[in-house]
Structure 1
Amino acid sequence: MNFENTLAFAKALDQADELAAFRHEFLFPQQNGKTMRYFCGNSLGLQPVTARAALDAQLANWQQHAVEGWFTGQQPWMFYHKELKRLMAPVVGATEAEVCPMNTLTVNLHLLLVSFYRPDSHRFKILMEAGAFPSDQYAIESQIRFHGLDPAACIVEVSPRPGEQLLRTQDILDAIHDHRGELALVLFGGINYYTGQLYDLEKIAGAARGAGARVGFDLAHAAGNVPLALHDWQVDFACWCSYKYQNAGPGGIAGIFVHERHFDDRDLKRFAGWWGYEEERRFLMQKGFVAGAGADGWQVSCTQVLPMSLYHAALLQFERAGFMEPLRRKSMELTAYLYWVIGEVNRAAGSILFEIITPAAPAERGAQLSIVAKNKGKEVFDALVERQFLGDWREPDVIRLSPVPLYNSFEDVYLLGEALHDISSKLFAS
């Protein structure tokens, strides 16, 4: 597409947008009586207008039925998670049996590592991206120590080449091959939180299987952002939060994926709890854990009904939007326009004020662009906030901006560029 740096052009794109109406289904933050233009869905998605009603409905069930709400009412809590499984599966490319809403992201990562990181004297290493989100780093370190091993000897980090910001896929594949005899697990993020790089998860999964290792993905920044095919890629396990691109609220309930080939493996270790017991016999309270069918067998505690209701409301929006294909189409156009608009700001300044470190190739990124501000970055960021543009800041010099297809517009992107140009003209005037 040939972009134009005009408000009329941006509005024309919005008029042609098949998802434009969804913008009115979200509540935008306010500042000094003005509506913020929100570019921070990579950290916390906006509140759907249906969220309050969904939560109120479950509060009403609690009020009316009390403990009987587990078995009575329009949505008995005992089976409520199954409706979410139906909606989660298309978001991550799985069968309904392979997914389950439960707990929070890092809790789920620990539970899954119990099952899928089983080091022995030959295979004990975990390969991961250097600079992974700290929660993943800490979880992996502690799991390795739990097995009485040394993280320094067990963790293989793949780093960008000197002078580069991004990982090359071939370097990841080469690292898997080089450590193939000692690898127990390949654990990667789907999208790097700092650079916004989308990894080639299919190739990584294939290489891990070829090396005889298990493969798992942390999809915190990928689920609800980019199309995924976890089942077809033969991924062993994955986990994700729901509060970023899936708009399920701060600290919202998270999700897991376990490939169906593991369902009948009764020797697979896990930390068990009663909600993971066979559903039909759960209330017999018998000794001896018998895992429930599918990913549900990894549940530990009972369903978190209130957080689940918020996730349910958000997932229904995904269903009405047609799930990931239409969202991805618009996301690629929005992000490409933002990429171009930032280039226009640099061209107008006659120098590179803002360097985009996210991949230029659309297939290698999601909705996020990470921008290195070459000078006075925090001042630029604060000035954007003062003008009602909210992204987020990462030390020492990165502004992350994420145009989300469900609620951001092309007009948002154009006006953000206009604001950046004006701020830069004033901050860097000679």
Structure 2
Amino acid sequence: MQKNTLDYAKQLDQEDPLAHIRREFHIPKDESGKEWLYFTGNSLGLQPKTTQEYIQQELDDWAKYGVEGHFEAKNPWMPYHEFLTETMAEIVGAKPLEVVVMNTLTTNLHLLMVSFYQPTKTKYKIVIESDAFPSDRYAVQSQLKFHGFDVEEGLIEWKPREGEELLHIEDLETIIEEQGDEIALLLIGGVNYYTGQYFDIKRIAELGHAKDCMVGVDLAHGAGNIQPNLHESGVDFAAWCTYKYLNSGPGSLSGLFVHEKHAYKKDLPRFAGWWNHNKETRFNMRQPFDVMPGAEGWQLSNPPILSMAAIKASLDIFAKVGMDALREKSIKLTGYFEYLINQIGSDKIKVITPSDPQQRGCQLSVQVKDADKSLHQKLTENNVITDWREPDVIRCAPVPLYNSFEDVYRMVEILKSLL
């Protein structure tokens, strides 16, 4: 039986086997030294305390070895991206062959669409969520234009029903049944940025593949949050950023997944660079292009080490904790948050994120009737960092790595006082 008291929240923290992990992160503080209540790990994750040490190691080795750091550094730079692969694969439920860290999110989506969006005159349409993150929309619109198609005709939107915020898989099924012969690609956000709704990506892949459509997933709001089990899902490709739930720092690199079934298709269309060329002959320099198998076959350039060092610092924490334990805490933490919001007992406020834990990650999108951004500003003035989305939604993400049950309790008490 949950309780709406500070003592109960503190008791939950005392019983939490992951409570100590919070101490491994820098919690932002105001000028007086008071910690902020930080609920925007869905926009930018907090910095692990080891990040500076990991980056400093590479700076020291650069100073010490110069170019020889590619081979002589403590963590040699030549294969550095490989140090990230195994843990990243575990986080997203993939085989190491299927995952690589490179570039940034939208760049990777474009590189993947070079291979997996191969339209014909009759089968060229792309399906996205109607409220997909803008960069996804812009990316697919530009792909349609690049291939000479009209955006209005080529872009199909999977929309909520009238008066609702959430999407129904049955409506996507209808779209595919009716237009599947004209659809070349489904590109769906695994967790919707606005509502926090987590989609059944295995079911989406099955629906798309039944009509010979390629299926891709943007996991920007999913990686490190939910367990997408990408290999088992059967999706053709996926990409995600690492600076949200994966805590790698502002604008850091992206992760990329290509299903094993495509790993050895050397004839897949793709852009090429020397880093997706066979690593055994890469430095021969005069060999014809020989693409590597697996996700590494989509790399173009050598890895940016300083950014990867920050990713490694975070991934080492994930490896220690494990996604099963994180997901278990996430369900409890978000469930308590939802309980407290519902205890406010006002018809002005509701959670639009699904109540079913299997249909959401740790983000709750709280809709406040007749509110405007001044509510968000008042929260900020009270040391609460949340994310405002027009017209009336506060996005809040209690991240299980570093948010506590007491954080959640105090945040809701402040919100209640402002209402």
Task: Give the corresponding residue for 2:360.
Answer: 365
C-alpha deviations, 1:367-425, integer Å up to 9, x for none?
A: 1111112133423222211111111111221111100000000001111111112222x
Please state whether the residue corresponding to 2:103 is helix, strand or coil: coil
Task: Give the corresponding residue for 2:242.
Answer: 242
In structure 2, give the amino acid aligned to 1:22: I
Q: How does 1:145-160 map to 2 (within 5 A)?
A: 145-160=145-160
State the distance in 1 between where 2:67 and 2:277 align: 20
| C-alpha deviation, 1:5, in angstroms | 0.4
Matched, 1:387 2:387: no
Task: Give the corresponding residue for 2:373.
Answer: 378
Task: Give the corresponding residue for 2:94.
Answer: 94
State the distance in 1 between where 2:347 and 2:325 align: 33
C-alpha deviations, 1:5-52, integer Å up to 9, x for none?
A: 001111111111111011011111122321101000010000000100
| C-alpha deviation, 1:174, in angstroms | 2.0
Aligned residue among 411, 420, 428 for 2:415: 420
Please state whether the residue corresponding to 1:335 is helix, strand or coil: helix
State the distance in 2 between where 1:353 and 1:315 align: 40
State the distance in 1 between where 2:69 and 2:175 align: 52
Aligned residue among 398, 423, 427 for 2:393: 398
| C-alpha deviation, 1:287, in angstroms | 4.7
| C-alpha deviation, 1:180, in angstroms | 1.6
C-alpha deviations, 1:277-304, integer Å up to 9, x for none?
A: 1111101112532111211110011111
Please state whether the residue corresponding to 1:216 is helix, strand or coil: strand
In structure 1, give the amino acid aligned to 2:87: L
Task: Give the corresponding residue for 1:48.
Answer: 48
C-alpha deviations, 1:184-232, integer Å up to 9, x for none?
A: 1111001111111111111101111111111100000001000111111
User: Structure 1 residues 214 and 376 mapped into 2: Cα distance closer, same or farther (>3 Å)?
Assistant: closer
CA contact (8 A) 1:71 1:77 kept: yes
Q: How does 1:6-405 map to 2 (within 5 A)?
A: 6-33=5-32, 34-322=34-322, 324-345=323-344, 347=345, 351-405=346-400
In structure 1, give the amino acid aligned to 2:132: A
State the distance in 2 between where 1:292 and 1:267 align: 12
Unaligned runs of 5+ in 1: 425-430
Count of matched residue positions in the alignment of Structure 1 and Structure 2: 418
State the distance in 1 between where 2:200 and 2:264 align: 29
In structure 2, give the amino acid aligned to 1:189: G
State the distance in 2 between where 1:417 and 1:131 align: 27
Please state whether the residue corresponding to 2:377 is helix, strand or coil: helix
In structure 1, give the amino acid aligned to 2:361: G
In structure 1, give the amino acid aligned to 2:5: T
Please state whether the residue corresponding to 1:358 is helix, strand or coil: coil
State the distance in 2 between where 1:214 and 1:112 align: 11
User: Structure 1 residues 376 and 32 mapped into 2: Cα distance closer, same or farther (>3 Å)?
Assistant: farther
TM-score (normalised: structure 2): 0.98
State the distance in 2 between where 1:254 and 1:91 align: 14
In structure 2, give the amino acid aligned to 1:342: I
In structure 1, give the amino acid aligned to 2:205: A
Unaligned runs of 5+ in 2: none
CA contact (8 A) 1:127 1:176 kept: no
Percent identity over paired residues: 48
C-alpha deviations, 1:135-183, integer Å up to 9, x for none?
A: 0011101111111111111111110011111101111122122212111
- More displaced 10-residue stretch of structure 1: 28-37 or 184-193: 28-37
State the distance in 2 between where 1:128 and 1:376 align: 29
State the distance in 2 between where 1:422 and 1:319 align: 39
In structure 2, give the amino acid aligned to 1:249: G
State the distance in 1 between where 2:18 and 2:70 align: 36
In structure 2, give the amino acid aligned to 1:192: N
State the distance in 2 between where 1:72 and 1:126 align: 47
TM-score (normalised: structure 1): 0.95
State the distance in 2 between where 1:156 and 1:304 align: 36
State the distance in 1 between where 2:55 and 2:383 align: 29
Which portions of structure 1, spanning 4 or more consecutive aligned residues, are displaced by more than 4 angstroms? none
C-alpha deviations, 1:96-154, integer Å up to 9, x for none?
A: 11100000000000000000000012311111111100100111011111111111111
State the distance in 1 between where 2:193 and 2:393 align: 12
State the distance in 2 between where 1:314 and 1:32 align: 27
